Structure formats: C-alpha cells, structure tokens
Structure 1
Amino acid sequence: MPTPNHLHLWDDRFFYITPAIQSGLTARSSATLLASVSGHPFTLVTVDGSVLRCTAALVAPHVPRQLDADGCGLLSLNIDPASAAFRELSLTLGERPILTIDAACFGALRDQFAGALHGQLSSAQLRELSNRMVQCICGAQAQRALLDPRVDRVLHRLHVASGQGSTIALKELASLACLSPDRMTHLFREQTGMSIKRYLLWAKIRRTVQLMATGGSLTEIALSGGFTDAAHMSRTFQRYFGLPPSFLANAGSVAVVVDEHALRTWQAQ
C-alpha cells in the first residue's frame, strides 16, 4: 500500500504533502504556502476565532492557526527564514498575518498537484514546482534581495552548532560578523524577521525533522537534535506542526526524502 503522506526536504524549504490533515493551534518560524490539491477549500481558524475558507493561503511566520483540510488534499510548502524565497514572500505578505489566495493563480501548475499528492513527481520536479508556486504568488520578476554576508556567516555557524547539538554565545557570533552584540542582534532580526534565539530553535526543529529519515529511535533523534528528551521534542513538534514526532518517524505513515544539499547544510550526516 503506498505511503499516503510525503515529506521532501531541501536546504532552504520543505514540502509536506498529505491527502488530509486536521490540527489544533500551531505556529512555526517558516513562511507557509498552503494549496488545495482538488480545488475544494480548506479551513484556517485564527487565534481570535476568525474562520477563513480558501483554496490557497500564505501564512506569515509565528502566526497561530488551526487547519482543517479534510479530504481536499494539501500541499504545505514551508520556506526557511534565511532564504531568498522567504524574503520575497515577506514582501508580498507585508503586515498581513495570513493572505488568502485563489488557487486559480497557479494556472497550469495545478495539473501537477495530483501527481505530487500521489508520489508521482521526483524530488527535482517537486523542487521546481515549489519554485514556480512561489513565483505565482510573488511574480516572476520578484526582487531577489541578497542576504547580508555577515548574517550569512552567522547562519552557517548556527547550522553547525545545531548539527552538533551545542550552544553558541552571542559574543562569538558578533565577533564572527565583526559587529557589536547589539548591532548583530538588530541586523539578524532585520534580515530574517526573528531573533537569533528563535532561529536556533527553528534550526533544531528543522534538523530533527531531517533526522526522522535515519530510522533511529525517537530518544536518539531527540538527543541528536539537541532536545533534553523525547517528551520535550514531542511537545515542541505538536506546537509547531500539530503532529507527533512518532507520526513523522513512521515510514509507513510518511515517506521522507532528504536532498543532499539539505544533508550538508543541516549537518545530518
């Protein structure tokens, strides 16, 4: 029997593809682009109780929402805060927490949605699909704002630290960027939209998701990812994704594919 859910991870994004999902209130550090496979609407409920029925939506980082995509099939594209695509989507969002979108904007791309749902597209095809979905939202000529090289150096160091399950002092990061700690903190938030501490948590979670493909025990994965124990990891995953780690780690429930660039970037080898 084919695996019903698919999770594809690249260095700067991941794609979760599922026939149906219902979650409680969740929020994560990525920008999240949601699209119905069938064209039937799914439901988002905001923290203030507002109900949004839409066929596609762009959700800003750290925005709590409940999701009910019961039977329509869902593509959930999660874009890393350090990526160029994230900055493009942030410009499109502006100050809006959630932008509802008519899935018709994806045009002929929608012909590929069913293939993605049924596991018929290769990792390279899914990556291209994700790029073109972002272009449909932001425009093909969207501005490619480059990351400040000082922040880029800091991010690389944070990726290494998360891979080692270690912590790193702000003073060391500031020295790496040749800035004062206060200026480093300000520049990092300006470029990524979040604090260094919050990004480190995201890096820990992102790497732990990737470790689900290794087949290790949840305790081993939790400790390798920098969590104190499996229970701590489980609480964090529920808050971020509305799914227990045991679900993502079960190869019979989710087929996880990790790109080689993701392995290098997130130090999962």
Structure 2
Amino acid sequence: MGDREPVDRQGALYVHGGHALMVGCAVDNPPHSHYNASVLLASGAPFLFRHGDGAWQESSGLCVAPCVEQQLRTRDAGVLIMQVDPDGRAFQHFGGRFVASPVIELSAAERAEILAGLPAGPWQGRAAAAFFCHAVTVLGRNAPHPGARDPRVVSVCRMLAEQLEQPPSLAVLAEAVSLSVSRLQHLVKAELGLPLGHYLLWLRVRDTVRRAQYGSSLTEAALAAGFADSAHFSRTFRRMFGLPPSSVLKQHNQVRVEILSSASAGGCNEPG
C-alpha cells in the first residue's frame, strides 16, 4: 500500500443518494437484510462473514446481492463497506454478477486494483466519491449486465417515492400499471427481491436519514417520511442494517457523517 492511508483514524460514513461508503469502523452486527447490494473490502486483516444460516467464512473481499440476510465481524477498522443502491446506475455496472450466486468472492487481482484507488491522503468527500466510482468500474469489468427492470415496476417505485407520507394503495398502484394486485405483488417480488411493503420501508428509511442529516429532528424526519413515530423508524433501521440509527445519525467521536452533493461527488455523477 506504500504511503497510502487505508482509513481515517476517525471512522467516516459518506452518503450520496441511495449509496454509502463507510471507512475506519470496526463492525460486529447481528443478522440483518437490506435492499442495497454490499461490497466488503479488507485493507488490513480479513473479516468474517456469513449469510443466511451458513457457516462463517473468512474473506478479504466480497460482493453481496441485495436482500441477502448477512452478518459481518471485522478484526480491525480497515474494512471498507460500500452500499450500492440497486435503483441507481452504479449497480448496472456489476449487478449481473449475482446471477451465479448471491455472494461473490473478489479475486486477488480485483482487490488489489480496487485498493490501488484508495486516496493518498486523508479521506474527504470528493476522495470518497472518486474511490466509490473507481471500485464500481473495476467490479463492472466483464460483468454481465443485470438487465433492465420491468417498466411497470419502475413506474410503481416512482409513484411510491413521490408519495411516501400517504402512498397509493396496492389497488391503485396495480390499476395504474394495468395489473391485478396479485400479479403486481408477484412481479415486484421477482424484480426487487422483496415485497412491495418492504421496499416502501426502505424508501422511508432512506428519506428519514436524508432529512435527519440535513437538520430535522429524528421524530420530524421519521414522520415526514411516513413512519408512525421515531420508534417505528428505529426498529426498521435496526432490522435492515443490524445497527441502531444513532450509530450513523449522530455526529460523535467514532463516526463522522458527510452527505455528498452532486458537486462534491466530482466526477461521480451517479446520484442513485
């Protein structure tokens, strides 16, 4: 690695649209499942990982498909954790890899090439965005395209995102795309990997985090995103990420949180 600094002395979480990059944080979380794809990369000691009811495996680099129950234990703070929103263009670069398996071991060559893109100096917003884009580019080489999403599912997802506080009923959504309710439910599960209700919760979690990071109180943010109260949001967040929301929503000594604007993202114009 030469004189590169693999992580900050203080952990940092960079959020850009539906994507995120966490560096400099030791992790030991309970089983959880979330909508994003995960890229886990060790710049120091290998980490331990398992999915579903499987055995623990040691690894230095993995890609994990969306909606996979998983658990991570790191031995140091040198593991980089990327969360890639399947609704964004970045996922199109490498999402086709999951056709073979929901968990893909990265080759030594891929890990080395991705780590070569670590910033030479301290982490900051533009450097984090550049690393994210570099990693996605490496992962996408020779990866099959995951395929276009059904336009009816795209329309339904857009309708939900635009009406989070009072989302349309299943009947209204189904009528809007000329499907029966049962056919819409089946199509959404096949396309997204999770039921429509769980996808709506993911949209609300993402919106609550965005609002809280821009200054709203947790209660205000949760209510504006459509949660019954902040406790409902907290339970949902913990179930999805295996962490309490306070671990990423509060500026404290362990984790520095930075929301990246399109301008600070520089050459990475993939907003999610």
**TM-score with structure 1 length normalisation?**
0.80
2:242 aligns with 242
1:91 aligns with 96
Question: For structure 2, which runs of at least 5 residues remain unmatched after alignment?
Answer: 1-7, 264-270
Distance in 2 (alpha carbons) for counterparts of 1:51 and 1:144: 28
> Is the alpha carbon distance of 1:133 and 1:78 closer, same or farther for their aligned partners in structure 2, counting shifts above 3 Å?
farther
> Is the alpha carbon distance of 1:100 and 1:131 closer, same or farther for their aligned partners in structure 2, counting shifts above 3 Å?
closer
Distance in 2 (alpha carbons) for counterparts of 1:143 and 1:235: 35
Q: Does the CA contact (< 8 Å) of 2:174 and 2:180 recur in 1?
A: yes
> Is the alpha carbon distance of 1:250 and 1:107 closer, same or farther for their aligned partners in structure 2, counting shifts above 3 Å?
same
> Is the alpha carbon distance of 1:187 and 1:85 closer, same or farther for their aligned partners in structure 2, counting shifts above 3 Å?
farther
Higher helix share: 1
Residue 195 in 1 paired to residue 202 in 2?
no
1:167 Cα shift?
A: 2.6
1:62-211 superposed matches below 5 A:
62-83=67-88, 85-86=90-91, 89-94=94-99, 96-113=101-118, 118-119=123-124, 121-122=126-127, 124-135=129-140, 139-140=141-142, 142-143=144-145, 145-162=147-164, 165-211=165-211
Which has the larger displacement, 177-186 or 109-118?
A: 109-118
Q: Deviations over 1:59-106 (max 9, x none)?
A: 233332221123242222222233455466553223634333345314
Q: Does the CA contact (< 8 Å) of 2:25 and 2:77 recur in 1?
A: yes
> Is the alpha carbon distance of 1:196 and 1:170 closer, same or farther for their aligned partners in structure 2, counting shifts above 3 Å?
same
Tell me how many residue pairs correspond in the alignment. 257
Distance in 1 (alpha carbons) for counterparts of 2:150 and 2:51: 33
1:212 maps to amino acid: A
1:6 aligns with 13
1:36-51 superposed matches below 5 A:
36-38=42-44, 40-48=45-53, 50-51=55-56
Distance in 2 (alpha carbons) for counterparts of 1:122 and 1:60: 25
Look up the SS of the partner of 2:159 in the other structure.
helix
> Is the alpha carbon distance of 1:123 and 1:59 closer, same or farther for their aligned partners in structure 2, counting shifts above 3 Å?
closer
Q: How many percent of aligned residue pairs carry the same amino acid?
A: 27
> Is the alpha carbon distance of 1:89 and 1:109 closer, same or farther for their aligned partners in structure 2, counting shifts above 3 Å?
closer
Residue 52 in 1 paired to residue 57 in 2?
yes
Q: Deviations over 1:218-266 (max 9, x none)?
A: 22222222222222222222222222212212123232214359xxx89
Distance in 2 (alpha carbons) for counterparts of 1:141 and 1:93: 9
Question: For structure 1, which runs of at least 5 residues remain unmatched after alignment?
Answer: none
Distance in 2 (alpha carbons) for counterparts of 1:73 and 1:123: 15
Q: Does the CA contact (< 8 Å) of 1:36 and 1:103 recur in 2?
A: no
1:28 aligns with 34
> Is the alpha carbon distance of 1:217 and 1:116 closer, same or farther for their aligned partners in structure 2, counting shifts above 3 Å?
farther
**TM-score with structure 2 length normalisation?**
0.80
